[in-house]
Structure 1
Amino acid sequence: MAITLYSLDGCPWCEKVHDALDAEGIDYETEWVEPLHSDRNEVRRVSGQREVPVLVDTERGVTMAESAKILEYIERSLQ
């Protein structure tokens, strides 16, 4: 899958990104992360930080954090 979303269950910012991807009909894979920041080593490995959501688009070589930026990316680049 070209798009992976690192997300935390119950995170409202993550839900906004999930909703936007679903609304646009974009196929993606979700990697669910641990609640404790110190346990989010996979997120840190791909993005350099432990916050979520993080979107990775391997087809376009894009990795980004912050829901507002991700939502803009979905709107501009993935439609």
Structure 2
Amino acid sequence: MASIELYDLRGCPYCAKVRRALADLGLEYETHSVSRARRTREEVYEVSGQYGVPVLVDEENGVDGMAESDDIVAYLYREYGDEGQESPAGGLLSRLLSKLG
């Protein structure tokens, strides 16, 4: 079992941002797909104290319910990125344009 877990909702752009960072860093993780109905996300609430997603759990590093996609992405690059590697700025369009330039 991976030590990183992501509470995730397909179609959620914030969740997609976190999945992209996990993929960019080559990290293995366990996904917990959640219901679209916020009030039925009891598992998410138990982990993070809120119903929104994404939520990250990283047991090896004592992270037990980090919310907010920007915070999660910054954490992942800080903890698992190469020295000096920073999280990419901007959305998908900015990243694609930077690769062309």
| TM-score, structure 1 as length reference | 0.96
In structure 2, what is the Cα distance between the partners aligned to 1:74 and 1:60? 11
For residues 49-68 of structure 1, the aligned pairs below 5 Å read 49-62=50-63, 63-68=65-70
How far off is 1:38 after superposition?
Answer: 0.5
Question: Could you list the runs of 4 or more consecutive aligned residues of structure 1 that deviate by over 3 angstroms after TM superposition?
Answer: none
How far off is 1:9 after superposition?
Answer: 1.0
| TM-score, structure 2 as length reference | 0.76
Larger of the two Rg values belongs to structure? 2
In structure 1, what is the Cα distance between the partners aligned to 2:54 and 2:32? 10
User: Alignment length, in residue pairs?
Assistant: 79
Aligned to 1:3: 4
Q: What secondary structure is seen at the aligned counterpart in 1 of 2:61?
A: coil
Q: What secondary structure is seen at the aligned counterpart in 2 of 1:4?
A: strand
Root mean square deviation of aligned Cα: 0.7
How far off is 1:45 after superposition?
Answer: 0.5
Aligned to 2:46: 45
Is 1:77 aligned with 2:75? no
Q: Looking at both structures, which has the greater relative contact order when contacts are Cα pairs under 8 Å and sequence separation is at least 6?
A: 1
Amino acid at match of 2:25: E
In structure 2, what is the Cα distance between the partners aligned to 1:27 and 1:4? 9
Q: What secondary structure is seen at the aligned counterpart in 1 of 2:60?
A: coil
